[in-house]
A and B are shown apart, each in its own frame.
Chain A
């Protein structure tokens, strides 16, 4: 009898939940439809296209496109370059936002002015930044960098044409554009640190450097980890910079990225199926990194809960 009563009670409790869910689904339908037509359907079509010979879906070729791209020199170069991009973006672009964020959190004078000035580059479109840096690196005669070098008595150098220099140069442009936004994320996290922790250590006579390594760093660990993985994921999608600064991933594919290669196959070489295959491979790599990010996040959250 008691069991029956509890069952009835449960049934009675479900009704408002179902009602609320139906309402929620009704509210979500327009956005779901937009997602379906503009995100999921193109993704699905792209995956299907990678198994056909062209965009008209006339002949099913199985994994032929994948086999072809893995034999392609440009693809292997782009795959290698992507990891070189990651390496340089960690060396050049990972620590600068941390330093700026910390400096902003400690600054008292004109904090707002510094915040706005440092965030300014984020407001410029990626394409405009690429053209700006194309003019900075440019050719040997007219580029700003060479003009400055000559001004100080140095020798002009073809920066853009050097295969060993092109990726670090592109990463500098990316860092210049992205550092401000990331620095603000760090700043907001630095500001959430409880001042009483610093106060307690100050009373114990702990020096500022030790305070930084024993209080600030452990608290910021999660943010450092999260933004590192997010940076790696975003580097996989580098596109404008090698297109404009490297002029289609040049010199001789030294700056080619997977995203640009997919675009090049589809739009320049008119091999849409191969472009689709490259983008599927890129998506798989990004999914792997994203799942690593979520796993790390889970582990860190569990540790924090303990």
Chain B
């Protein structure tokens, strides 16, 4: 488990021994996925529609 080797940052391996801190970490990851999707989806849509003709748009 990568969390057991985390030595820097606000929370490190000793904090992650507690369940609530582990839950907080997974919430962080969930939020990051949300931000990444928000960044990615419009770009994907931009590339997909750039292949369409004007009439289809």
A interface with B by C-beta (< 8 Å): 99-100, 103-109, 113-114, 117-118, 120-121, 124, 128, 132-133, 135-136, 144, 176, 180, 190-191, 195, 198-199, 202, 208, 211-212, 216
How many Å lie between the Cα of A124 and that of B45 in the bound state?
A: 13
How many Å lie between the Cα of A124 and that of B39 in the bound state?
A: 11
How many Å lie between the Cα of A233 and that of B45 in the bound state?
A: 31
How many Å lie between the Cα of A45 and that of B31 in the bound state?
A: 50
Question: Does residue B36 face the partner (Cβ distance < 8 Å to A)?
Answer: yes
How many Å lie between the Cα of A136 and that of B6 in the bound state?
A: 40
How many Å lie between the Cα of A137 and that of B32 in the bound state?
A: 25
Chain A residues lying within 8 Å of B40, measured Cβ to Cβ, are 117, 120
6 A–B contacts from the bound complex (CB under 8 Å): A107-B29, A120-B40, A198-B9, A202-B12, A212-B10, A216-B10
User: Contact at B7–A195, with CB atoms within 8 Å?
Assistant: yes
Question: Does residue B2 face the partner (Cβ distance < 8 Å to A)?
Answer: yes
User: Contact at B11–A120, with CB atoms within 8 Å?
Assistant: no
Interface of B is mostly: helix
- Shortest distance between the CB of A56 and any CB in chain B (Å): 41
A123 nearest CB neighbor, chain B only: B43
A133 nearest CB neighbor, chain B only: B42
Known: A107-B28, A136-B42, A191-B8. A114 touches B15 (CB 8 A): no
Chain B residues lying within 8 Å of A195, measured Cβ to Cβ, are 7-9, 12
User: Contact at A108–B6, with CB atoms within 8 Å?
Assistant: yes
Known: A117-B40, A176-B42, A202-B14. A104 touches B7 (CB 8 A): no
- What size tier do the contact residues of chain B reach? 20 to 34
B15 nearest CB neighbor, chain A only: A208
Interface of A is mostly: helix
- Shortest distance between the CB of A175 and any CB in chain B (Å): 10
Q: Residue B39 contacts which of A118, A136, A208 (CB distance < 8 angstroms)? A: A118
> Closest 5 A-B residue pairs measured CB to CB?
A117-B36, A195-B8, A108-B2, A103-B32, A114-B32
Chain B residues lying within 8 Å of A180, measured Cβ to Cβ, are 39
How many Å lie between the Cα of A113 and that of B24 in the bound state?
A: 20
Question: Does residue B54 face the partner (Cβ distance < 8 Å to A)?
Answer: no
Chain A residues lying within 8 Å of B6, measured Cβ to Cβ, are 108
- Shortest distance between the CB of B10 and any CB in chain A (Å): 6
User: Contact at B3–A128, with CB atoms within 8 Å?
Assistant: no
Q: Which of A117, A121, A176, A202 has the most chain B CB atoms closer than 10 A to its own CB?
A: A117
Chain B residues lying within 8 Å of A136, measured Cβ to Cβ, are 42
User: Contact at A211–B10, with CB atoms within 8 Å?
Assistant: yes
Given contacts A106-B11, A120-B39, 18 further A-B contacts (CB under 8 A): A105-B10, A106-B28, A107-B29, A107-B32, A117-B39, A120-B43, A132-B45, A132-B46, A135-B49, A144-B45, A191-B8, A195-B12, A198-B10, A198-B12, A199-B12, A202-B15, A208-B10, A208-B11
How many Å lie between the Cα of A202 and that of B8 in the bound state?
A: 12
User: Contact at B36–A118, with CB atoms within 8 Å?
Assistant: yes
- Shortest distance between the CB of B41 and any CB in chain A (Å): 10
